[in-house]
A and B are shown apart, each in its own frame.
Chain A
Amino acid sequence: MKEIILQKINAQIPGAVIESVEFRNDLSITVKRENLLKAAQILYSDPELQFDMCKDVTAIDWAKRKERFTVVYQVYSFKNNFELRIKVNLEESDLSIESLTSVWKSANWYERETFDMYGINFKNHPDLRRFYMPEEFEYYPLRKDFPLLGIPGSLPLPEHEK
């Protein structure tokens, strides 16, 4: 499977895949940010691949790495019974990435969650609002520099008479 996937992507967008790692039959590929949408479209629509299910979208905060964030898409092909992880590295100065809602509809809420927790800005997302936290919340709780007990006063409580 690995060869077919890499060959299909590289044939249409040369140099898109920066790295591909296989660990215990789990393949993950790292894609350049600007090629993500195109690569996703190939993976989804190619008749031999048919990665038709997006199982999860999340991110990793590496805290001290130069490219601080990694956005991870976990996709699955029913036809081949094959899991694939697509990764994109992002620098903190520019956290925008193309939304894959146009390819996989299920990415909609996953991307909202990733935006809420890590502050990744998904371009062309149909409804990029806070997912768990209140709308007026200003921080991204799953970042490494966010304190465990939160920031005092950032989440308002009801008025307590007495």
Chain B
Amino acid sequence: MGLEAKLTKDGFITTTLDAVIAWSRKNSVWPMPMGISCCAIEMIAAADPKYDIARFGSEVMRFSPRQSDLMIVAGTVTYKMAHVVRRIYDQMPDPKWVIAMGACTSSGGMYRSYNVVQGIDQFLPVDVYTAGCPPRPENLLNALMAIQEKIGKSKARDYQDIPLEKIIK
């Protein structure tokens, strides 16, 4: 069964450090739930037993940017709110990822208006865009799996050009 079956003799496996780090990182992505409007309800639904985001190691949804790896921006971002979202994003430690959940965050959605930012990629680096208004929980989990895939492919050298003070910040 499982890992033990592979450890036939002395309990050694050979792998690369990159693979171990990426494997552990991608299976414990702690989200920062930036729930701004109705998408947040579907994000909450993704955490309930039916959809169970805990299957992906992402059940640690706390409003605590300093312990988070992934920001799920769920809802309409107005120009006033954009500064708040960016400030919270800046408090998250590197490396960090962003899901733009739903039509509003991805493109402004139905709010084609002077007060809504027409896509959060104008002020945030977005990794995955999720379609839907709001997206169903499965769709959010799909986005999370896409993030996991991206993290799984990351190598230590991807982060080595980040200055130390930025990592600490």
Contacts and interface: CB of A to CB of B under 8 A. Distances in A.
Interface of A: 132-134, 141, 146-151, 155-160, 162
B82 A157 contact: yes
Given A158-B123, A160-B124, A162-B125, A148 B112 contact: yes
Q: Kindly name the residue among B80, B114, B124 whose own CB sees the greatest number of chain A CB atoms within 10 A.
A: B114
Interface of B: 79-80, 82-83, 86-87, 112-115, 117-118, 122-125
Given A134-B79, A158-B83, A160-B123, A147 B117 contact: no
B123 A149 contact: no
A150 B80 CA distance: 14
Contacts of A157: 79, 82-83, 117, 122-123
Give the secondary structure class of A's interface: loop
Contacts of B79: 134, 155-157
A93 to B, nearest CB: 26
A148 B111 CA distance: 10
A149 B82 CA distance: 17
Contacts of A155: 79, 114-115
B115 A150 contact: yes
